[in-house]
Structure 1
Amino acid sequence: MPTGGGTAEQPTADGQHDREEPHSVSEEELFDVLANTRRRNALHAIAQAEGTTHELGTLSERVAAWENEIDVTEVSYDERKRVYTALQQSHLPKLDEVGLVSFDKDRGTVDATPALGEVEIYLDVVRGKEIPWSEYYLGLSGVSMALLAAVWVGAYPFTLVPDLGWFAFVVVAFTVSATVNRYFSTEMKLGDDRSPPNIE
């Protein structure tokens, strides 16, 4: 029977069953899930065809092809088997547990849950080698406040540049950062029609 990580049914007073609201995936759970490349690739494939029941074998071939940077038709038995075993025993149960997919281990099928459709999943929430955008903006804000405070009190050598110049610098820094952020938010989104983005 399906593990049913996304939704569950509860009996009502008249004996019928109503579905609970979709499980809300926390930011901490997303960090944990997306920290693994193979799970990200599996989610990318599932999100690309949301509403479709995915066969574990087919999903494994697709993920193996991405990992080895080859066409699906070129995936060997061993490459497929390694991914199949890892997805079946570890990664899909984990995704089911947090409520992003519904994994039926007996049938070897995977379905996206309503929670997956409601979550905009970007790699900028992954704590990997890259600095998360939230932390980047926090750091940029801190540097900007310190800079403007130094200009305000007339600290040397900040007095060598007109006050307006420093204010313009801060505005340009945030504008450029926001532009780059938006670009990467588009490029790094899981579930679009391209190969899965990566941060390694």
Structure 2
Amino acid sequence: MASVTSDGTDTGSDGAEAADPLSKTDIFDVLRNQRRRFVLQYLKRHETPVELGDLATQVAAWEYDTTPDGVTSAQRKRVYTTLQQTHLPRMDEVGIVAYDADEGTIERTDATADLTVYLEIVPGNEFAWRELYLSLGAVSLALVAALWGDVYPLTVLSDLVWATLIAAVVTVSAVAHVYHERHMRLGQQEAPPELDYDADD
């Protein structure tokens, strides 16, 4: 049964302080990095704590497009080091995973499952889809207004042709967005969906 501490903080049935909900900033910060997404993908397949070494091997295999047996010691070390020093501490800090640095183990938390819901990520060099749709809307409205005013040379083409062109551009943009979503979503399959091959365990 949940209780409340003297300072008004909610606790769970075991008396532990209830975890704060993840902020969008924290979620975006984690999911915008491919290596962190790979960590979550791996944890989705394991209900019990995993060893850092095993995690690093599989993540390296996904990154270098090979199998775990084909990962070189240098590749594994590179991934292992960044996971140990940077990614896992950050993910543990916001409660997305539980990382025991002393034992070298990582396990899922309640928040891990929450991240299976797709979130549009816009890392530094990726396109901002909201801005694209806003631009398309603005251009379409301007075009319609110009057509109503019989502005030349837009009148060279019929209204039906312009409507078809607008519909085609919006449809192509939507298809591209759906394709992008698939590559940014944590998948249910064994390998991350942004990879085009099936990695072995």
- Which TM-score bucket, shorter chain as reference? 0.7 to 0.9
Q: 2:135 aligns with which of 136, 139, 150?
A: 139
Structure 1 residue 88: deviation in Å?
Answer: 1.0
Which amino acid counterpart does residue 24 of structure 1 have in structure 2? L
Structure 1 residue 92: deviation in Å?
Answer: 0.5
Mean CA deviation greater in 180-189 or 136-145: 180-189
Confirm whether residue 149 of structure 1 aligns to residue 149 of structure 2. no
Confirm whether residue 112 of structure 1 aligns to residue 108 of structure 2. yes
Structure 1 residue 38: deviation in Å?
Answer: 2.4
**Number of residue-to-residue matches in the alignment:** 188
Structure 2 Cα separation of the partners of residues 96 and 133 of structure 1: 30
CA contact (8 A) 1:44 1:196 kept: no
Which amino acid counterpart does residue 38 of structure 2 have in structure 1? N
Gaps of 5+ in 1: 1-8
Structure 1 Cα separation of the partners of residues 4 and 129 of structure 2: 43
Distance 1:160 1:180, change over 3 A: same
Which amino acid counterpart does residue 140 of structure 1 have in structure 2? L
Structure 1 residue 91: deviation in Å?
Answer: 0.6
Q: What is the TM-score when the length of structure 2 is the normalising length? A: 0.76
Structure 1 residue 131: deviation in Å?
Answer: 0.6
Which amino acid counterpart does residue 99 of structure 2 have in structure 1? F
| Equivalent residue number for residue 30 of structure 1 | 27
Structure 2 Cα separation of the partners of residues 55 and 11 of structure 1: 35
| Equivalent residue number for residue 198 of structure 2 | none
CA contact (8 A) 1:133 1:181 kept: yes
| Equivalent residue number for residue 3 of structure 1 | none
Deviations 1:19-49 (A, max 9, x none): 52552231x33333234332232233223x2
| Equivalent residue number for residue 37 of structure 2 | 40
CA contact (8 A) 2:183 2:193 kept: no
Confirm whether residue 129 of structure 1 aligns to residue 150 of structure 2. no
CA contact (8 A) 1:62 1:72 kept: yes
CA contact (8 A) 2:99 2:105 kept: yes
In percent, how many aligned pairs have the same letter? 40
**Relative contact order, CA 8 A, sep 6+: which one is greater?**
1
| Equivalent residue number for residue 186 of structure 1 | 182
Which amino acid counterpart does residue 105 of structure 1 have in structure 2? A
Structure 2 Cα separation of the partners of residues 173 and 32 of structure 1: 31
Structure 1 Cα separation of the partners of residues 43 and 122 of structure 2: 19
Mean CA deviation greater in 115-124 or 141-150: 115-124
Structure 1 Cα separation of the partners of residues 65 and 117 of structure 2: 23
CA contact (8 A) 1:22 1:115 kept: no
For the residue of structure 1 that corresponds to 2:165, the secondary structure is helix
Distance 1:16 1:67, change over 3 A: closer
Which amino acid counterpart does residue 40 of structure 1 have in structure 2? R
